[in-house]
Structure 1
Amino acid sequence: MKKILSQPELCDGCRDCEEACEELYGAPRIIIREINGTYYPIICQQCEDAPCKAICPTEAINETIDFERCIGCGLCMIVCPFGAIVLSERKAHKCNQCPKLDTPACIKACSKRALSIVDAEKLKLEKQEKHIAKMARTAKPKFDILELVSKSKKAEEKLK
């Protein structure tokens, strides 16, 4: 699954991404928050077990929000752990990653390249590989797995 990745260290708080989103959808679905001088682009993370989806009394939330079903109660906004849902005109809004565009509007609008689209599964695998490589360099195992396999095969041969 593709996801929008934000890099706060590159964001200058210009809000061009918010404006591009608002121009396209009538309300921004990305929010820039400033905390201690750093700007954080807040975007829906499309959670697997999304609390917003679970709490919605009208089942209006999936990857997108069904505005016909949304009653504007705001429960989704309250439970979102990222603060990525906003209410506008009594309807909930969240990033849908601009499914009709090749590149989401916020990414096109960001001159600082603080936003990008990534393959979440590929990114996860790359992080795992880096972690495994680091552990292999720094860990000092009490046994060598290859040596154990070799000894095990020799023991099996003796039993035959």
Structure 2
Amino acid sequence: MKKITIQSDLCDGCLDCEQACCGLYGTSRITIREVEGSYYPIICQQCENAPCVIICPTDAMSSNGINQEKCIACGLCMMVCPFGAVKVENREAQKCDRCESRGESPACIKACSKRAIALIDTDELKSMKQDQFLSKMAGIKNKPKKNNFINILTSSTRSNRSYKDKKNSN
């Protein structure tokens, strides 16, 4: 699954992403909020077992978007969204669908001059993070190849070795 992410250290709060989204849909489906000098997105996370989908009385909601013909703008989806990403404006519920309904790459990403917004594939990211973790755990990148000899040091052997090392350095 692909998700929109924002690197808050690159975002300067220009709101070009919000304006581009608003230009396409009449209301912005992304909101950039400032918290202590950093900028963060409020955007639909396309949740698995999404509360907005579960509570929708007309089945207008899906994790990827809203069927406006079925939507009655009751606002239940807005009330249960844990991210505050669903809006009800002009008698319609709105949430980000990553511009999939338009068949284009997301407008917010195109509009961002700082390239702070990206569309990432979560499966690829997970695989990359697992590879990094396994490399770190196995010491593939940092440790020289070991021989098959196992060193077992007891606390007394270790202290004797450190004592000898200190004595030889003097």
Q: Same fold (TM over 0.5)?
A: yes
Q: SS state of the match for residue 126, structure 1?
A: helix
Q: Which residue of 1 aligns with 2:145?
A: none
Distance in 2 between residues matched to 1:134 and 1:51, nearest whole Å:
37
Shift of residue 53, structure 1, vs aligned partner: 0.5
1:50-65 counterparts in 2 under 5 A? 50-62=50-62, 63-65=64-66
Distance in 1 between residues matched to 2:56 and 2:27, nearest whole Å:
20
Q: SS state of the match for residue 8, structure 1?
A: coil
1:80-159 counterparts in 2 under 5 A? 80-99=81-100, 100-137=102-139
Q: SS state of the match for residue 4, structure 2?
A: strand
Distance in 2 between residues matched to 1:56 and 1:66, nearest whole Å:
11
Moved more, 47-56 or 123-132: 123-132
Structure 1 residue runs of 4 or more that deviate by more than 6 Å after TM superposition: none
Distance in 2 between residues matched to 1:131 and 1:82, nearest whole Å:
29
Distance in 2 between residues matched to 1:79 and 1:136, nearest whole Å:
43
- Computed over aligned residues only, the root mean square deviation of the Cα atoms, in angstroms, reads 1.4
Deviations 1:20-40 (A, max 9, x none): 001001110111111122111
Moved more, 22-31 or 68-77: 68-77
2:83 maps to a residue whose letter is F
Distance in 2 between residues matched to 1:5 and 1:29, nearest whole Å:
14
Return 5+ residue gaps in structure 2 as ranges: 140-170
Q: Which residue of 1 aligns with 2:15?
A: 15
TM-score, with length taken from structure 1: 0.79
Return 5+ residue gaps in structure 1 as ranges: 138-160
Percent of pairs with identical residues: 59
Alignment pair present for 1:72 and 2:70: no
Higher relative contact order (CA closer than 8 Å, sequence separation 6+):
1
Larger radius of gyration: 2
Q: SS state of the match for residue 5, structure 1?
A: strand
Q: Which residue of 2 aligns with 1:35?
A: 35
Shift of residue 136, structure 1, vs aligned partner: 3.2
Distance in 2 between residues matched to 1:6 and 1:89, nearest whole Å:
28
Distance in 1 between residues matched to 2:34 and 2:74, nearest whole Å:
27
TM-score, with length taken from structure 2: 0.75
Q: SS state of the match for residue 129, structure 1?
A: helix
